[in-house]
Amino acid sequence: MITFYHAPWSRASSIHWLLEELGVPFSFSAVAIRAKEGVPEAYRSIQPNKKVPAIDHDGTVVTERAAITIYLADVFAEAGLAPAPGDSARARYLTWLVYADSVLDPVVAAKAHGIDFMGPRYSYGSFAEMVANLEKALSSGPYIVGDRFTAADTQIGSGIHYATNVLRVLPDNPVFKAYLDRLAARPAFQRYSQREFEMAKAAGMLEGVRQP
């Protein structure tokens, strides 16, 4: 059984989407990341920075979105979302899956907070390079690995969605728009985003937010 440590409309959302794509049973454990008093200290025994997401799979705890994505897609390999070791697509899959958290996420966060930084001095490079890299990669196929949808798309797609529709820091770009439309047409995407919306509503998060 999988216990999914989650908060709606957060970095846990990509894992929620992945769990829907995998079609495996799981239960939510809500983590109050927006509570005034902060995340309960007890949660540190699960996630050392008290952040979501985290999972407990039959007693094995996994933290960090990229690691959780790799773990789940490999454990539930029958869903076909992870090119197996030995498959030539595996390198590209792992590269983009990790790129989402090691480059896309920090670059977008820095941009959204107006932090100007010198690309060569930071591990994640510049905003312009990140946009150019993603545009090039997504111009060569419908998905980030090429012809097939993989768990790397739940990572990259969530990052592009957040940067475009929530933070609004990505430029209007037909390649990104077509990619997001393709992902949004997936039944698992629609199921998870509807559930996230209902959870956010129940948590009183809708004030001042455009409804989907």
Ligand X SMILES: N[C@@H](CCC(=O)N[C@@H](CS)C(=O)NCC(=O)O)C(=O)O
Q: Give the footprint of ligand X on this chain (CB under 6 A).
A: 10-11, 33, 39, 50-53, 64-65, 101
Instruction: Please give the Cα distance from 158 to 54 (Å, whole number).
Output: 17
Shortest approach of ligand X to residue 142 CB, angstroms?
26
Query: What is the Cα 20 distance to its own chain's centre?
Result: 13
118 half-sphere exposure, CB direction, 13 A CA radius:
2
Strand, coil or helix: 57: strand
- Between 44 and 177, name the residue whose CB sits nearer to ligand X: 44
Task: Catalogue the long-range contacts made by 202-211 (C-beta closer than 8 Å, 24 or more residues apart).
Answer: 203/8, 203/34, 205/8, 205/9, 205/34
Shortest distance (Å) from residue 24 CB to ligand X: 19
Is-contact 75 60, C-beta < 8 A?
Answer: no
In whole angstroms, how close is the CB of 162 to ligand X at the nearest point? 9
Nearer to ligand X, 101 or 196 (CB): 101
The closest residue (CB) to ligand X is: 51
What's the alpha-carbon Rg for the chain, to the nearest Å? 17
Minimum Å gap between C-beta 11 and ligand X is 4
- Do 120 and 61 touch, CB atoms closer than 8 A? no
Nearer to ligand X, 27 or 49 (CB): 49
Q: Given the complex with ligand X, which of 71 and 175 has the nearer CB atom? A: 71
Give me the least distance between CB of 116 and ligand X, in Å please: 22
**Comparison of 65 and 111: residue with beta carbon closer to ligand X:** 65
